[in-house]
Amino acid sequence: MINQEQAIQKLLTYRETTGKTQSEIAKELDISDPQLSQFLNGIYKAPHIIIPKIERFFELKEKKETAPEAPEYKETSISSKVYKLIEYCHIQGKIAVAYGDAGVGKTMAIKEYAKKHPDGAIVITVSPCFASITGVNDLIAEQLRIREKVARKIYSEAVAKLRGSNKVLIIDEAQHLTVRVINHLRCMSDESGSGVAFIGNDEIYLKMRGSGQASYAQLYSRIAYKEHITTNSITEKDISLLFEENHLDKEVLALLLAISRTNYGIRGAVNVFVNTAAVFEQITRKNIAAMAIEMNIRP
């Protein structure tokens, strides 16, 4: 175990190299700000309680730094489709929907677009507890810095802030939305002139299309652009591109492609690769296959 002087020095070096505040570091250590302050000043009465926390923190940090990492964003055939769909909504101020299988890179494309358009892209991720009009309003209000709490006032201010703002609203995990909420966002788009990109699984498109009922016509007619994305559309080139820095042989890439075309998608292939790298010394077809079986993935 490290002593108190070593622990203090580690924390001071960490603060200096990362630029993090004392409060942020205290949160990472799961102690209070005053506790950390007293410890750094050498006046904390029970340093033996905090030193193990510091030791565990730096041990975990070191393991994270050396752990295998998932490939960074690549412009695959699928991520490119999603990216272009969002760009269309942004430029044209229209409604579009990208829907299909999970784990194929839709969210990665959203993150990349937001990264390249930090002032223009408003991204909200809809979990079931935020799927209502109130929940969606809260998510949008947070992004647009709206302080109103009444739903209709949030809506009015959101429309005012979006109108002429050159922003696009991107809804990830949009399948959780009800038809009523989708219409709420459609109206927001109509009134503000800002585009809305709905990204999710097949359910979002089915909700927007309805079953041919006239009541859905107004909503469905607003879809100016749609992309149906499936794991079957993942190509050899996509997998080669994703793992190009790892210099994998053709047999390994072929197996990763087969995994990506299962229900687990590209995310499944990446997870198998990362776990294989963590467990085995070499990335071989045999080791990839063994890890896939361990993870109950059958390509």
CATH classification at residue 210: 3.40.50.300
Segments of the chain scoring below 50 in pLDDT: none
Phi, psi for residue 88 in degrees, rounded to 5: -60, -45
Distance of CA 144 to the CA centre of its chain: 19
Does residue 197 belong to any structural domain of this protein?
Answer: yes
What pLDDT, on a 0 to 100 scale, did the predictor assign at position 261? 95
Q: Which residue, of 232, 255, 284, is where some domain finishes?
A: 232
Same domain, 173 and 243: no
Q: How many domains does the chain have?
A: 3
What pLDDT, on a 0 to 100 scale, did the predictor assign at position 105? 93
Q: Are 95 and 196 in contact (CB under 8 A)?
A: yes
What pLDDT, on a 0 to 100 scale, did the predictor assign at position 76? 95
Does residue 35 belong to any structural domain of this protein?
Answer: yes
CATH classification at residue 269: 1.10.8
What pLDDT, on a 0 to 100 scale, did the predictor assign at position 281? 84
What pLDDT, on a 0 to 100 scale, did the predictor assign at position 67? 79
Does residue 72 belong to any structural domain of this protein?
Answer: no
What pLDDT, on a 0 to 100 scale, did the predictor assign at position 215? 60
Concatenated DSSP letters of 56-94: HHHHHHHHHHHS--PPPP---HHHHHHHHHHHHHHHH--
Does residue 71 belong to any structural domain of this protein?
Answer: no
Residue type, 140: I
Mind listing the pLDDT tens digit for each residue in 115-143? 999 999 999 999 999 999 999 999 999 99
CA dihedral 87, 89, 90, 91 (to 10 degrees): 90
Same domain, 219 and 101: yes
Does residue 40 belong to any structural domain of this protein?
Answer: yes
Does residue 299 belong to any structural domain of this protein?
Answer: no
Q: Which residue, of 66, 91, 113, is where some domain finishes?
A: 66
Does residue 242 belong to any structural domain of this protein?
Answer: yes
Same domain, 264 and 144: no
Same domain, 135 and 241: no
Same domain, 27 and 57: yes
Range of the domain at 39: 4-66
Same domain, 83 and 215: yes
Same domain, 100 and 221: yes
Does residue 101 belong to any structural domain of this protein?
Answer: yes
